[in-house]
Amino acid sequence: MHLPDLYALLTREGRWALESAMAFEPREKDFLPDFAMLAKRFPRETARAALTIAILRGEAAAKFPNAEKMYFTREALEQATPWAVAAHRARRFTGAERILDLGCSIGGDALALAAAGPVIGVELDEVRTAMVRLNARALRADVQVVQADVTELPFRLTGREAVFFDPARRQDHQRIFSVEDYQPPLSIIAGWLPDAAGLCVKVSPGVDLNEISGYDCEVEFVSQDGDLKEAALWFGQFRTTGRRATLLTGEAVHTLALGPEAEQPRLPLGEPGGYLYEPDPAVLRAGLVEMLGAELGAAQLDPQIAYLTADELVTTPFARVWPVEDWMPFQLKRLRAALRERGIGRLTVKKRGSPILPEDLIQQLRLEGDGEMTVFLTQMEGRPVVVMAGEEIR
């Protein structure tokens, strides 16, 4: 989308076109027929821009509570932080005298940060800069935006600013994996840290931990309803621990943290007991499996595998849990016989540390019963085993 097309949507005719497009409740797959209808009533470029925004607003509803009022580009929406995650992150900025959002895109994070204090966003792209202004106005958020390159800030940090930095992690629609290939690279923060009251950097949840090991920061991994969403690096006054796993479930926030100097307990190894735990992905990425296991009184099946087991049930938000019905060294014929004896026909296969593909196993088992079961393909002290489990305990 070009800037004149965006501004055309702000005219009387453009607003009518956008309202008409939204009335279709359009989807990307229906773009051509919907566009043909709109283009009969409005100029083609206005119709195209209106339909594009209407489609993106519909898709954005899963991320933003006020998506129907906002403006997006396709790429910006795909990279935008879900509102619950952005709001969680923004809470640490509460009370800041001034908040800088460097690389603010269409303003998703800036709008969340505005609940903590006045925000100044910096964005290079002229269309996204305009969208930040429109989105802030629509949601009555205290956000100003400056069109500038964050590598050449048009102002100096004074020591009173809390900084949020979200570098681009895609180029030509391809993911960027190294933090030094981000645009701009993570190393740019070295020039900001001495003069920032606090600094937070959003990075990929799959970030190579070796690449950030030299940074003096807290590393927080955040999941939402079991899906890993992001990692955040917290510097200066924002740093509260060494590693943190944060789980957002509905309105609840659960956090598990390990101090920078603390050591995790060493868990015993053991056979599958009464219950099998699968830690949340945020716990896995934060490397806090042993800490969680100690809280649960659990053992590990294998020192290299994240499954935990215990005889007693301890409910926790940090892991999914299944009752163990049986387990055995993995052997196809033996497993098939055990499942057929139980009348199992529908199987959910989960795995860690096994080369077997779930779909291949299901095909090879040739089950015909009416029952359902979850099986875990894993290893115990280096040996392949299979754990048969009942219905997940929620």
Confidence of residue 372 (pLDDT cuts 50, 70, 90): very high
Q: Is 12 helix (H, G, I), strand (E, B) or coil?
A: helix
The predicted pLDDT at position 89 comes to: 96
pLDDT (tens digit per residue) in 378-388: 999 889 999 99
d(C-alpha 264, C-alpha 353), whole Å: 22
Residue 44 phi, psi dihedral angles, 5° rounding: -55, -45
The predicted pLDDT at position 262 comes to: 80
Residue 276: which residues within 8 A CB-CB, separation 6 or more? 307, 308, 309, 321, 322, 324, 376, 387, 389
Q: Is the pLDDT assigned to residue 170 strictly greater than 80?
A: no
Full-model pTM: 0.92
Share of the chain above pLDDT 70, in %: 100
**How far is it between the farthest Cα atoms of the chain?**
73
d(C-alpha 58, C-alpha 94), whole Å: 31
Report the chain's mean pLDDT, rounded to a whole number: 94
Mean pLDDT of the region 1-14: 95
d(C-alpha 379, C-alpha 352), whole Å: 8
Q: Is the pLDDT assigned to residue 172 strictly greater than 80?
A: no
pLDDT (tens digit per residue) in 234-255: 999 999 999 999 999 988 999 9
Q: Is the pLDDT assigned to residue 32 strictly greater than 80?
A: yes
Which structure tokens are listed for 320?
Answer: 């999914």
The predicted pLDDT at position 281 comes to: 97
Q: Is the pLDDT assigned to residue 4 strictly greater than 80?
A: yes
Mean pLDDT of the region 299-325: 96
The predicted pLDDT at position 176 comes to: 82
Q: Is the pLDDT assigned to residue 264 strictly greater than 90?
A: no
Residue 276 phi, psi dihedral angles, 5° rounding: -120, 130
Work out whether strand 143-147 and strand 119-123 pair parallel, antiparallel, or are unpaired: parallel
User: 36-45: long-range contacts at Cβ-Cβ below 8 A with a sequence spacing of 24 or more?
Assistant: 41/17, 42/13, 42/16, 42/17, 43/8, 43/13, 45/5, 45/8
d(C-alpha 65, C-alpha 60), whole Å: 9
Query: Would you kindly state where each structural domain of the chain is located, as residue ranges?
Result: 3-60, 77-258, 275-389
Mean pLDDT of the region 278-296: 96
d(C-alpha 64, C-alpha 116), whole Å: 18
Q: Is the pLDDT assigned to residue 171 strictly greater than 90?
A: no
**Chain centroid, CA 328 distance in Å:** 36
Architecture of domain 77-258: 3-Layer(aba) Sandwich (3.40)
DSSP 304: T
The predicted pLDDT at position 66 comes to: 94
d(C-alpha 359, C-alpha 41), whole Å: 51
d(C-alpha 47, C-alpha 22), whole Å: 11
pLDDT (tens digit per residue) in 15-27: 999 999 999 999 9
* Pair 325, 374: CB distance under 8 Å: no
Share of the chain above pLDDT 90, in %: 91
pLDDT (tens digit per residue) in 69-122: 999 999 999 999 999 999 999 999 999 999 999 999 999 999 999 999 999 999
d(C-alpha 145, C-alpha 147), whole Å: 7
Q: Is the pLDDT assigned to residue 125 strictly greater than 80?
A: yes
